[in-house]
Structure 1
């Protein structure tokens, strides 16, 4: 597979059937005790990328694992870690986020954001060639991401369609910041003996020929990428990577309009500016290129077919073939009639490679390395002009005077129209994503009055930076006109309102007021919160969330009912322990005699059954057992007197004669005997003599 067709590391493609072959040893492995490695997504020259699960945060990530051997090189690993940390510092909506970096027993890895979608290469295959507006809409977030990197001192060095990811929701993300720099920090990049970092189709000439690169190398790659979007083809093709690299060094990128006629000249100029072989003619970094992209996008949005001034402004300068200094148009010299390049500074404005009014195809051959003229042409140009034939006598003076007057009037009208229709207007500069002070200073320097409008929320532009301007970048306005800028409030966040104590309906209404959604509702008994009122929320009150985020609620079902149970006839101590363990209060009444319930058991309870709530009271009546009465002494009493006394005490009396009964009728003894304590109602037997 050619280098520029490698699959990207962090984009998750659609699931496909499993091919044959041995299983990947990384699959199923747990890295750093945190990342459970799943199926492999892609494999490159230095690393393989796997879909993995972050067990600590319960999310799916992409884990890039360096190939065996590379991680063993301590110097390489140290550079890799440094650049991974630098890339992780990039916080930009169009940059694939780096979450973590680690070394698990010699396995060096990166944990990154996993993007579900496809790459820009897929878009090129399906859509290119595409309209300039569509191409710039895809390029703009790429340039914005590179601009953020360049401001942080990070050069990508491997900008290509495979490293531009497009999520299913349309977000554009640039991946692999810092990795190429980690590999090539101390490597000389030459076309012959060194290591070429980056795909050959997008390499800047100076990286091939001199082994040097800076932010302008990324600018060159973006220019090639834009060319490919506009035409569906790469600007330089060859049978081998060396041939392609040679063309980058020795051949200019041709105007896209040669393959796609009808493109505006300023689009050709933007491509020429970004892909100038002399890096001094390119934008200094992606931030400057982003400004140019915004100007071209604005012109396209306004339906401008041709804009000579914009074309002139964007096109790179034409250089003198011998001295390398900018040159100007080649006017006819009145003293000799010859033509030739005039050095810059000879009281002329420098011309551009793509001059206003010159077809892109014609201007493409006038690159910095194109020959100006051969020796025969220069000799012919240096020869004196042939003498002119003597002219006839002039007409009458009235004719020339009228012509002169007409010229003066036409010139005056033309200058007036030019002034009032164009020259007195200034171009509004692009201040998008700049801080307030920087934006105001740039607009005021351009001659405009600045009005700061009401700030708005933005999920893309950081807080305090410009979201929009009216008139927009590239518009023409009079000096002194007002330009209204709108600043970002940052990501729109709303605090979770206090939910506790509200009814479910009230809570749902309160969430709707701050653009939050009601999530999962779970019911729970509560001793302190009444039925149908919110106990708590997750996240808690005050936590700031994005619009549409869900808030889970716990709603009270009221107090938990406690089953009392029937404890009559059961041991009172056991009943008390059980009821108190349930949270009830037990009150005991132990003053009751019972002939049927043993002592210590429950005779009765209040309430007798049903349910109570925590803290309610249960009254237990506990048996003292049967009431005991002392048997009186009735020995030697007559049977009738003894019976009467015992029955008065509640005893049952039974009479029997002893074996030696004499017939006297007196009590000889009792059973139970006198003085014994027996339950009231017991039977006392009288034995008569």
Structure 2
């Protein structure tokens, strides 16, 4: 059994009819799923509004009204809306499922399109938008993400043959209405927003024309005209600046494409085409100019043959404006050629004579009968082939690994086509989870069988986030569906505050989606700084530390330093610590040390002899040598000294 823990809507049945099969995309307002309409047995797309929007009554009401309006739009280039409903308080739309990809995906792959391809896509976009304009509906959010490139009719790989469909009519308008709180919030994608939407928030069909012009600019150049650090900066550039010509970024583009972009993106709406239908007419003319120029530039290898005049009406119906009607009234219809039975009497008579001769001869009657039998057999065999013979039962491929499934499908005369895989806790990786059509169903020989492979258990490694701030660590963990949790903080002398010091479990550990990862964050340097205590007497060092509110631990170590002198400390000087923290002092343990005797006011000679008798090296400091009296000494009396240590006495004459 397949387990999906990332989205609890997967597998749900909406209104007892729509079974959610998979998630296609997630946007700022809604999530799109594929589903099976179990009543009509067809695949549909379902857009379910996010919880934050569903709690706004004004949005829900406007969303329902707009859905009804969009459902009345019937056009091959408009993503059809079939149904509307509510599931657990979340409004949803049931729409036509378009097998293909978005224009954004296409531009991400190819970066930019040729002028002919760009205009072919734009023609169909404008044809769809023109239908909405004629119905009094403004899209308000024309952008590559809302343009779907369906598979081309007949399987052609050429982009100019592909079918383009526009989605999300009316959704942006519903959102804008619910957000209209007087704050002047701009409800549009800033890269494609018309100037009047920025300044006044009012949109009409010319706003869609402006956005379509920006989309054409992006298709030709691979970029949008403006960028900036903040969305508001980009939006105001549409108000303050003219859109540059595409040829500035891609030299060699036909001038007619520069003219189209300039006409569509005038900052003054009155200077643009009045609606998508008017712009469509200009795009069709521009496309014909480019095709004609290419034909003139192409060398002819064969004699030119006139095969007929190509007219705008020869375009497919989805790329053509509707007939204006009144303009064609009164135009004479082409005369139909009348046929008369006596127009070729000789041919008719010959056919009658031939039939009479066949019937009048026994051999002829036999040949006619045989012909009829053969014809009947052909009809029967052909009917059997069309009705039964060309079908074959789909083999059972579920449970097989990828290579075995491909081999068995090929052996049975089918082609295995692998869809996007799904995670499964039960089924091993690269094993077939599902197939369409299912095993045993009769399908045409040689057709495709769509297979869904298991991706194995859904697991994600804990990313290396040590050294990153909390905010960046949260982004990295969310990207792999893991839940960040703050652990107990730690002071650090080297790691800045709010930075990850360690994670539990450790980096590289594999976890299930939703598992928690504890982040140990730095609290920065501790409030107290440890002083340098090395070289001090342990009593002095203890007094200093306890005066700072710190605890002291003493360890002894044999050394040649004076007995009781601090020779090391942990933590080292300059470290940050908290009140109550223990500082460990390592103190010299030297049995050969003793207190410096007091020889002050002794005669210098006597003092020297006394100190030398104690195995100390004595240096006499004085102009009179050993004469005079001791007035100063280093080290001072009582200071711990070692045998053999050099001491100084300073002598003066009284």
Q: Report which of the two has the higher share of helix.
A: 2
TM-score of the pair, normalised by structure 2? 0.46
Larger Rg: 1
